[in-house]
Amino acid sequence: MSGKNALILAGTGMLDKVVQTLIVEGWQVVLPSRRYNPIAFRGTENGSGTAARRALRPKGHLPTVGRDAPGYATWVEAQWERPHELARAAEKALARPADLLVAWVHDSDRRSVIGAVESLLDPSAPVVEVAGGRGSGPTDDPAEPALPGHPTQQVLLGTVSERDSGRALAQAEIVEGVLTAVRRALDGRPSSLHQLGQRRPLP
């Protein structure tokens, strides 16, 4: 997967672990969001955390892509309420059309934001859409994929954990589910829906 571009649309910090995973695997990731997010990489004994931490580029950094370039992330300031400005900022940061789109955007902005960045994607780029849960708004039934021309893995978040019905769905479970959907997308799987967690039972 080395040398490919990903565009990730999510609230600041919500998909950091997904971004970290892509960076370690050699992806160049563009992150439009309202606030600057210096992604925190935890170091490991072999030093890979240090290398990943250095990979985060500052606001406005324009990536230079080479065959052996390490992965990194570029943040661009953007607001969901201004989707065309968001798309222009992301386009400047992308070295070429994105090979992957991951989007966790509030329901009210979902179609306008995802629609605005469609032209930034490679025609064959898969999409991962996350809906429900923190940052997306209430979702009882999945909406149709925002970009039907692209194979889409939809992740529908429940309100309680499948592992423990007495607690809310944990961030680690969300990340695990989104990464599974990303793997399916990059493996070329057809569009599908993935329910993550359970809906809280009615009293």
Q: Looking at the 3D structure of the chain, how many domains does it have? A: 1
Rounded mean pLDDT of the chain? 80
Report the relative pairing of strands 56-57 and 152-157 from DSSP bridges: unpaired
Domain coverage including residue 72: 5-196
The answer as to whether 186 is a domain residue is: yes
The answer as to whether 135 is a domain residue is: yes
Q: Is the pLDDT of residue 154 over 50?
A: yes
The answer as to whether 160 is a domain residue is: yes
119, burial (CB in 10 Å: exposed 0-12, middle 13-18, buried 19+): exposed
The whole-angstrom distance between residue 173's C-alpha and the CA centroid of its chain comes to 15
The answer as to whether 118 is a domain residue is: yes
What confidence score (pLDDT) does residue 122 get?
A: 97
How many Cβ atoms sit within 10 Å of the Cβ of residue 156?
22
What is the band of 11 on the pLDDT scale with cuts at 50, 70, 90?
confident
The answer as to whether 94 is a domain residue is: yes
Choose the weakest-confidence range: 39-48, 64-73, 83-92, 159-168.
39-48
CATH of the domain at 71: 3.40.50.720
